[in-house]
Amino acid sequence: MDKDILLSMEDISVSFYTHRGIVKAVRNLNLQIKKGETLALVGESGCGKSVTAHTINQLIPMPPGKIESGKVIFEGRDLLKLDDKEIAALRGKRISMIFQEPMTSLNPVFKIGDQIADVFMAHEDIKKDEAMEKTVKLLELVKIPAPERRIKDYPHQLSGGMRQRVMIAMALASPEPGLLIADEPTTALDVTIQAQILRLIYDLKQDIKMSVLLITHDMGVVAETADRVIVMYAGRKMEEADVYSLFENPSHPYTQGLLNSLPSNEKYSDSTRLEAIKGTIPDLLTIGNECPFENRCPFAMSICRESFPEETKLDDDHSVWCHYVSDQVRTHTRAGSLLPTRGKE
Amino acid sequence: MLKYILKRLALLIPTLFGVVTIVFFMIALSPGDPARVMLGERATAASIEKLRHELGLDKPLYVQYGLYLQRVVKLDLGKSIKSGQKVSEEIRDHLPATVELAIWAMIFSTTVGIFLGVMSATRKNSWIDFGSMASALVGVSMPVFWLALVFIMIFSVKLDLFPTGGRMNIRYYFTPISGLYVLDGFIVLLKSGDPKVLLSALHHLVLPAIALGTIPLAITARITRSSLLEVLNQDYIKTARSAGIKERRVIYRYALKNALLPIITVVGLQVGMLLAGAILTETVFSWPGIGKWLYHAIEARDYPAVQGGIIFISISFVLINLLVDILYSVVNPKIRLS
Amino acid sequence: MNTEIQENTKEKSDEESAEKNSLFKEAVFQLKGNKSATIGFVIIVGFILMAFLAPWLTPFEPNDQDISIRKTAPFITSHILGTDDLGRDLLTRIIYGSRVSLVIGTISVSISLSFGILIGLISGFYGGWVDRIVMRFIDIMLAIPYVLLTIVIVALLGPSLVNAMIAIGVSQIPQYARVVRASVLAEKENDYITAERSLGASNFELMFKSILPNSIAPIFVQATLGVGDAILSSAALSFLGLGAQPPTSEWGLMIASSREFVTSAWWIVTFPGVAILLTVLGFNLLADGLRDVLDPRMKD
């Protein structure tokens, strides 16, 4: 196994058994995160990216959730085979998480200092005083001014950006952080604060040498922070590439759609208008083996309704799962040069 | 925080005023003449008229109301028709018994109720959950007085474990100090080293306290379960779990403190239920408290006593709920610090 | 995680709710699958059947006294649940008691419901000073513990079954008014109300034809709970001698008059209480189920 790989998910399928039927949230997903790398998981809400993240540290409520198949290998161990105690020991210590809503993700009835110190004390055999000292240092690290005073604050006394910094501090309150899962960390924040938080995560990653799994629907955020990108749609992986290839050469019609709807991207500034992708996400209850994007795809063919495509490698670092693209590649000898162009020009 | 309490206190005044007004007019406008009730069916018209004058019942209603308000402000609730004693003094004499009963019922219902609720919420859809929620539903569907009688039948008559009523073995000659017999029993124990008063007081409390506490227990268990389940779905619980905090600690420290907020409100509302439920429980267990006293006052159509009793209970209810709200704000930093 | 899925299903149900009818069908469908609602419903139907079919269910008369067979133990003779201190058949009296309870439940809830709806609707719809005054008054009424209020009203009106019903009904009005007001306030904000208003609907039409039918769910739950509450309260009143008077076969009264027999005839105390318990349980179960189905916020 590749020594550089920190975490690898193999053939993961997750379903939710609701009273309406089985929701197939994630299907046959493979992904790998290298040490020190930021991997972005991109897609619209409901595409299964959060479920994927929650599969890693097993925060999926079961029932109704069920991990149908697959392995999550982290540092040589399959996390899905660990018992509750073993997984709890990894959570917050080697695998931490920050959430979308800084407003609701901190416990409203405890001081933030106590909340962070509690995490330290859960992972190390230290006294409260020592944990508090560490907490103050950590709050300094995430650039919270006057941390000695702030530790006595309750969450509602802090701004959204400050709270997200506290969340990040809490995620780092460990002797040896390994993987940080950031689930839409900036969605709920102002644009200016967003940039600061992204910068902070980036800096911390460099300093502490941890890996980041960034979950977002925002291509702008991806461009700024990610090393590698996986585009997800309706529980499936559609495209995977390093961040440069993806933005240079978006190959899946869905990825193109996502980039088209991005206002600030210079490459597409000639676009006269924002092109939202037409149609809606298919019902995850009734979906079969077809390509889930088929009903919205401008290049849909009859085969798209029959089976989900195999991987098409465009490059060492660039793969796509699309019948249309694989057709194009097969009919043209020089792969990569004759990829479908955006939209219907 | 202080401002909040002052604001609440200011809001209290119109409520108290309203309660006194409603109770006064409800009783004043009700059919039946207190003077006639006092003197009996065979009294002459003249003697009734004389008593009406003495009681001020011949004055126009608004004058009576004004006078009554004046007296209530001075904590004077008038004299009982039946005993001739001051209503305020009668209430004072009967209050400790009810307070003692209510406190123990409350301790029983909150501790057991919260415990059952937590067990149910953390083991959702298990047999424990199903069993305790089913019993809670049965608990709220039961008539209190019937439960009290069934208790007496089983534990007093059949098994002879507890007395059928009263607060103390009548053979013990002891002069109440605080009127709370458990406390008094402690004092006796400390002074003379004799535990029999304390034991007898506790012995007499068990059945009435459990009977009175059963419905509040059931309600507390249900609200604890639903409140805790809601809290366990919150983001910050996910945060705590993802940060590797141990599950026990997540539930008993992180979740329960948040879940406590609605529980406190409900427990506060139960005080009113306890006071009212005391009428039934005290009647069944011959417990010499406010409830039994009020029941006899109603039976005897002792208007000043009924009026005074209801005003007293309602005001206590309002004040206790104020206390609960303040307690709520202490637990909830959002209110405390604003 | 879960929220994403919930969002999906929510979108779905939004589309479905376009047709009111299908929503109702959905509710009935869910109720059928709801265990507590089903059990509660069965108990209530049994209770109503018992009330209507009373004379055909038992060969005895509820008030036939026969001193020679007084206090017959249950499960031995043809008096299945035994007889009371005057030799009356206990089962018969319990069966006839369901009639009294059914009447009390329906009438007192109708009283609280009609006044509560009227007050809550007006208060919530008009808002402003009307609302402030009404709510102030309701808060004051709620400061007096409900059981106490009932006892006082009935004590003042004079002890009787009719007065007990009135007292229970009246003292519950504030609760209903509050529930109605809350759901009217929530409903009033909807766009369709603004739309109908702009189309010239009168206040009366808006209140009774648009808002009320759409905010009925919580009121319905409250009323279901209310029937059980009323039965409990009337039993308590009768127990205190303030409700039904002898020889009416009212369950609470039956327990009251059996008090002196706790040492000698357990069945006279026990069975009427079990009847109250089962009936009230039925209504509470149904209300629980209704709340689960009608109020999605309460769903786990």
Q: How far is B194 from chain C (nearest CA, A)?
A: 33
User: Average pLDDT, stretch A266-287?
Assistant: 62
Check CB contact of C5 with chain A, cutoff 8 Å. Answer: yes
A293-324 per-position pLDDT tens digit: 888 887 888 888 888 888 888 888 888 888 88
Name the least confident of B226-235, C99-108, C209-218.
Answer: C209-218
Q: Of A217-221, A284-288, A297-301, C173-177, which one has max mean pLDDT?
A: C173-177
Task: From chain C, pick out residues whose CB is under 8 angstroms from the CB of B146.
Answer: 235, 255, 269, 272-273, 276-277
The answer to whether the beta carbons of residues C31 and C274 sit under 8 Å apart is: no
- Closest residue of C to A63, CA-based? C2
pLDDT at residue C21, rounded to an integer: 56
Higher pLDDT residue, B268 or A263?
B268
Higher pLDDT residue, B255 or C297?
B255
Subunit contact B143:C158, Cβ cutoff 8 A:
no
Task: From chain C, pick out residues whose CB is under 8 angstroms from the CB of A101.
Answer: none
pLDDT at C33 exceeding the cut of 80:
no
pLDDT at A275 exceeding the cut of 70:
no
Subunit contact B334:A92, Cβ cutoff 8 A:
no
pLDDT at residue C169, rounded to an integer: 93
Instruction: Walk along chain B (338 residues) and give the pLDDT tens digit of each residue.
Output: 777 788 888 888 888 888 888 888 887 777 767 777 667 777 778 888 887 787 777 788 888 888 888 888 888 888 887 788 888 999 999 999 999 999 999 999 999 999 999 999 988 888 989 999 889 999 889 998 999 999 998 998 889 888 888 888 777 777 777 888 888 888 888 888 888 888 888 989 999 999 999 999 999 999 999 899 988 888 888 888 888 888 888 888 889 888 888 888 888 888 877 877 888 899 899 899 999 998 888 888 788 888 888 888 888 888 888 888 888 877 777 767 66
pLDDT at residue C111, rounded to an integer: 95
Subunit contact A156:B334, Cβ cutoff 8 A:
yes
Q: How far is A82 from chain C (nearest CA, A)?
A: 21
pLDDT at residue C113, rounded to an integer: 92
pLDDT at residue C13, rounded to an integer: 42
The answer to whether the beta carbons of residues C211 and C188 sit under 8 Å apart is: yes
Test the A interface: residue of C3, C5, C26, C293 with most A CBs within 10 Å: C5
- Closest residue of A to C4, CA-based? A46
Q: How far is C10 from chain A (nearest CA, A)?
A: 12
pLDDT at residue A272, rounded to an integer: 43
- Identify which of A91, A110, A156 has the shortest CB distance to residue B242: A91
Higher pLDDT residue, A284 or B141?
B141
pLDDT at C276 exceeding the cut of 90:
yes
pLDDT at residue B90, rounded to an integer: 92
Against chain C, the chains showing at least 3 CB pairs within 8 Å are: A, B
- DSSP letters for C91-127: HHHHHHHHHHHHHHHHHHHHHHHHHHHHHHHHHHHH-
Kindly report the backbone phi and psi dihedral angles of residue C122, in degrees, each rounded to the nearest multiple of 5, phi listed first: -65, -45
Closest-CA residue to C154 (of C280, C225, C238): C238
Q: What is the dihedral angle through the alpha carbons of B101, B104, B108, B109, rounded to the nearest 10 degrees?
A: 50
Q: Exposed (0-12), middle (13-18) or buried (19+): which is C35, by Cβ within 10 Å?
A: exposed
pLDDT at residue C7, rounded to an integer: 43
Chain A and chain C share a number of CB contacts under 8 A equal to: 35
Subunit contact C144:B317, Cβ cutoff 8 A:
yes
- DSSP letters for chain C: -HHHHHHHHHHHHHHHTTSHHHHHHHHHHHHHH-HHHHHHHHHHHHHHHHHHHHHHH-SS-TT---GGGTTPPTTTSSSTT-B-TT--BHHHHHHHHHHHHHHHHHHHHHHHHHHHHHHHHHHHHH-HHHHHHHHHHHHHHHHS-HHHHHHHHHHHH-S-HHHHHHHHHHHHHHHHHHHHHHHHHHHHTSHHHHHHHHTT--HHHIIIIIIHHHTHHHHHHHHHHHHHHHHHHHHHHHHTTSSS-TTS--HHHHHHHTGGGTTT-HHHHHHHHHHHHHHHHHHHHHHHHHHHHH-GGG--
Test the C interface: residue of A18, A22, A47, A62 with most C CBs within 10 Å: A18
Q: Exposed (0-12), middle (13-18) or buried (19+): which is B120, by Cβ within 10 Å?
A: buried
pLDDT at residue C114, rounded to an integer: 93
Closest-CA residue to A135 (of A322, A123, C20, B20): A123
Closest-CA residue to B141 (of C287, C190, C19): C287
Which residues, including other chains, have CB under 8 Å from residue A173's CB and lie 6 or more apart? A92, A116, A117, A119, A120, A123, A134, A135, A138, B243
The residues facing A18 across adjacent strands are A21
pLDDT at residue C281, rounded to an integer: 94
User: Band of the pLDDT at C18, cuts 50, 70, 90?
Assistant: very low
Cβ-based neighbour number of residue B54 at 10 Å:
10
C98 vs C278: CA distance, rounded Å: 11
Closest-CA residue to A18 (of A69, A68, A63): A63
pLDDT at A266 exceeding the cut of 60:
no
B259 vs B276: CA distance, rounded Å: 27
Subunit contact C266:B15, Cβ cutoff 8 A:
no
pLDDT at C86 exceeding the cut of 80:
no
User: Average pLDDT, stretch A248-259?
Assistant: 83
Its pTM surpasses 0.90: no
A57 vs A120: CA distance, rounded Å: 18
pLDDT at residue C292, rounded to an integer: 80
Q: How far is C96 from chain A (nearest CA, A)?
A: 42
**Through-space distance between the first and last CA atoms of chain A, rounded to whole angstroms:** 44
pLDDT at residue B103, rounded to an integer: 92
Task: From chain C, pick out residues whose CB is under 8 angstroms from the CB of A45.
Answer: 4, 7
pLDDT at residue B13, rounded to an integer: 85
C48-79 per-position pLDDT tens digit: 998 888 788 777 777 777 777 777 777 777 77
Q: How far is B299 from chain A (nearest CA, A)?
A: 50
Q: Which residue has the tokens 């065979």?
A: B42
A69-112 per-position pLDDT tens digit: 888 888 878 888 888 778 877 887 888 888 877 778 888 888 88
C226-248 per-position pLDDT tens digit: 999 999 999 999 888 888 888 88
User: Band of the pLDDT at A59, cuts 50, 70, 90?
Assistant: confident
Q: Which residues of B29-47 are buried (b: 16+ CB within 10 A; e: fewer)?
A: ebeeebbebbbeeeeeeee
- Closest residue of B to C231, CA-based? B143
Check CB contact of A61 with chain C, cutoff 8 Å. Answer: yes
SS3 label, residue A65: strand
Closest-CA residue to C264 (of C111, C121, C82, C135): C82
pLDDT at residue C16, rounded to an integer: 41
Which residues, including other chains, have CB under 8 Å from residue B218's CB and lie 6 or more apart? B113, B135, B136, B137, B138, B139, B140
**Through-space distance between the first and last CA atoms of chain C, rounded to whole angstroms:** 16
Read off the amino acid at residue A114: D
DSSP H or E stretch at residue B274:
helix B256-284
Subunit contact C2:A46, Cβ cutoff 8 A:
no
Higher pLDDT residue, A328 or C222?
C222
Subunit contact A84:B247, Cβ cutoff 8 A:
yes
User: Band of the pLDDT at C19, cuts 50, 70, 90?
Assistant: very low
